[in-house]
Amino acid sequence: MHIKNLIINTIIIFCFAVPLWAQDSEVKFSPKGGVYANALPVKLSCNNPDLQIRYTLNGATPDGSSTLYTSSLHLNAGMRSKSDIYKIPISPDNDPYRPDFYVPDSVIKGIVIRAAAFDQQGNRVSPVVTQSYFIKSLGCDIHGLPIVSICADSLSLFAHDTGILVPGDLYDPEDIDHTGNYAQSGREWERLINVEYYDDNNDGFNQMAGLRTHGGILARRSQQKGLKIYAREEYGKKNFKYKIFEESHLKKFKHLILRPYRNSCTSAGIHDWLSNQIAAPLKMGITASRPTALFLNGEYWGIYFIEEKVDERYLESHHGVNPDSVNIIAAWGALESGSSDDFFNLYYSLAAADLSDPVQYYHFSQRIDIPNIIDYFIFELFAANWDWPVNNVRCWQKPGGMWHWVFYDGDCCLDDDQFPIYENATYIGEITWPTAQWSTLFFRKLLESPTFKNQFLIRLEQLNKTCFSYKKTKPYLSKIQHTLREEIPHQVHRYNHPESLGNWEDACQKIDNFLAGREKGFWQQTTEFFNLGEESITSVKCYPNPASSGEILHIQVEAESDATPWLSVYDLNGRLIHCQYFFLQEGENSIPLNIGKRKGVYIVKVGDEKCKVIIL
């Protein structure tokens, strides 16, 4: 099977790899593809008058028998593809999670023209050029969303033996979680396509690329499948060159993901996008993302989010690492790129260590990016990700360097505010999805260190009052709701998911409720897990006392148990001049404090305990 696929791919690539001397015969379109208010004439031309131009309208590669171009093509409804590929069953009929293959009565269609130049003997002598047109007056209005248009020969997508979107030859109804053509990976299951991206003013890119399925088995066997596209020099261009994401400075990409709306855990469809927006200010990697409308051979394929692919090219772009040597690990040990040797060395040495020993903790703090992993853990907990930590993990390392974490896949975030986040993140039993002892090791072991626990709780409290506050998170939700609201009825009609605009609005309201109460709920879960409180503080002392102006004070606090108080400093008029949050351990704690060069008498308050300090 692999040999057959390789032969097919080689033939396809050969067909498109036209010699450079033939580039002068490339067919030109006027105007180029994009979104237009009304139908318009399209003119095809090439520099050699002795050649014929032939074209197709169904996404197929033109050949010597395709329609001969003789005069301008006046775009109209009759030029839309009649293949109706949306009716082809691309999901199993016994899927317990998504059992129904939904076939609408019709789909929105653009007009796809694929053209090439041929000699008098019918031999193609130019590259195939593809332009797609989306005419609002012909019913193709996607309400301002960018468009991704993919065109490919149908056999490479839907054929029983070679199609990558169908159950096909490799599907076993007794093993639906591991089989199917769409479940395959690797270069032999990459298919040649033309991909167009149209943004405002029809800016974007148009080029040949590779297409594969993407994601877990549910995303691959779903009717609205996860996809990824690859730019390769052998296809014509080695990058997708366009500034796709407003939140990113990057203007070129090697690989891109097309995440389907249906991947989200609810019919809101926006969990991953929203999670990445909220997580953006944190000290960890995220994936830039943007909602689009996807068309396949001119047929509407629903709402997708185009986003960065977390791989060696992503790390090259964001961190300047060598893509040929970077180590990338998934799922706490699954090798994605490079070598896993250093990770497993770290994992097993961490398992055997006693991190309550400051010396041992310091050793591991030189191998793990502590501020990064703290923010990573905090966000996964805040977002109540119920498809983690067994799943959806990515970390990376330059050879010999520290390990860093990237937030990856938020489809199951921001949904269940009652999810037992800390129990899930510290579980020590055998696997019980989504957790297992081997997947919680890093968090459990790091919490053995008082230094880490203190840093973790201080940072959590800070983020909870800033980045995670409803004032900060609500605008992101409002923005995506505004962006998608008019397009949701098209997604409803195409897949019956969500079932209605009202169903979508209800699902978004559930997210709104989560965000509105999460600051309070997250802190409550945290204080309960760590058994935190202020009432256990028994005494507060300051030294030196009196102190010189500008001198560092040391606040000695005695606590009967772990506590999380505010340390406040007031002048004798009762004015607050300084406040700071601390995590205290049971027993004696010493807190350094610098209140500047103020001279006078001050009251230092920790919890309900106070002391007086004189600054000379």
pLDDT, mean of residues 19-39: 84
pLDDT band at 24 (very low <50, low <70, confident <90, very high): confident
For the ranges 335-344, 447-456, 582-591, the lowest mean pLDDT is seen at: 582-591
pLDDT, mean of residues 251-276: 97
Residue 359 has pLDDT above 70, yes or no: yes
> Beta 334-337 vs 191-198: how paired, if at all?
unpaired
CA distance 212 to 215: 10
At residue 549, the pLDDT reads 87
The first and second tokens of residue 236, run together, are 């014509």
User: What is the identity of the amino acid at 262?
Assistant: R
With b meaning 16 or more CB within 10 Å and e meaning fewer, what string describes 226-265? bbbbbbbeebebebbeeebbeebeeebbbbbbbbbbbbbb
- Mean pLDDT across the chain, nearest whole number? 93
CA distance 280 to 472: 12
pLDDT band at 1 (very low <50, low <70, confident <90, very high): very low
Angle between helices 358-365 and 450-465 (to 10 degrees): 60
At residue 616, the pLDDT reads 83
Residue 7 has pLDDT above 80, yes or no: no
Q: How far from the centroid of its chain's Cα atoms is residue 243's Cα?
A: 17
Better-predicted residue by pLDDT, 21 or 427: 427
CA distance 361 to 353: 9
pLDDT, mean of residues 183-197: 97
Question: If you write DSSP's letter for every residue of 376-396 in order, what string do you get?
Answer: HHHHHHHTT-TT-SSSS-EEE
The closest alpha carbon to 246, from 61, 476, 70, belongs to 476
Q: What is the pLDDT of residues 497-523, one digit of tens each?
A: 999 999 999 999 999 999 999 999 999
How many other CB atoms are found less than 10 A from the CB of residue 581? 13
At residue 16, the pLDDT reads 47
At residue 456, the pLDDT reads 93
User: E strands within 501-552?
Assistant: 537-543
Better-predicted residue by pLDDT, 266 or 563: 266
Residue 2 has pLDDT above 70, yes or no: no
Q: Which residue has the tokens 């605009």?
A: 501
pLDDT band at 10 (very low <50, low <70, confident <90, very high): very low
At residue 434, the pLDDT reads 96
The first and second tokens of residue 85, run together, are 């590929």
The closest alpha carbon to 294, from 302, 286, 306, belongs to 302
Residue 12 has pLDDT above 60, yes or no: no
Q: Which residue has the tokens 């148990």?
A: 561
Q: Phi/psi zone of residue 44: left (φ > 0), alpha (ψ -120 to 50 degrees), beta?
A: beta
**What is the arrangement of strands in the sheet containing 537-543, beginning at the earlier edge strand?**
537-543, 553-559, 587-593
CA distance 558 to 180: 63
Question: If you write DSSP's letter for every residue of 171-238 in order, what string do you get?
Answer: --TT-TTT-SGGG--SGGG-EEEEEEEE-GGG-EEEEEEEEEE-SSHHHHHSSS--EEEE-BGGGTBS
Beta-carbon contacts of 211 under 8 Å, excluding residues fewer than 6 positions away, are 150, 152, 164, 190, 191, 192, 193, 195, 227, 228, 229, 230
- Tell whether the torsion through CA atoms of 329, 332, 333 and 339 is positive or negative: positive
Beta-carbon contacts of 503 under 8 Å, excluding residues fewer than 6 positions away, are 267
Q: Which residues pair with 608 in a beta bridge?
A: none
Angle between helices 271-279 and 470-484 (to 10 degrees): 140
With helix as H, strand as E and coil as C, how does 480-502 read? HHHHHCCCHHHHHHHHCCCCCHH
At residue 20, the pLDDT reads 46
With b meaning 16 or more CB within 10 Å and e meaning fewer, what string describes 297-317? bbbbbbbbbbbbbbbbbbbeb
For the ranges 18-22, 43-47, 343-347, the lowest mean pLDDT is seen at: 18-22
pLDDT, mean of residues 329-349: 97
At residue 23, the pLDDT reads 55
At residue 3, the pLDDT reads 45
Q: Which residues pair with 330 in a beta bridge?
A: 334, 394
pLDDT band at 535 (very low <50, low <70, confident <90, very high): confident
pLDDT, mean of residues 209-213: 98
Residue 347 has pLDDT above 50, yes or no: yes
How many other CB atoms are found less than 10 A from the CB of residue 544? 12
Q: What is the pLDDT of residues 398-411, one digit of tens each?
A: 999 999 999 999 99
The first and second tokens of residue 274, run together, are 């929203």
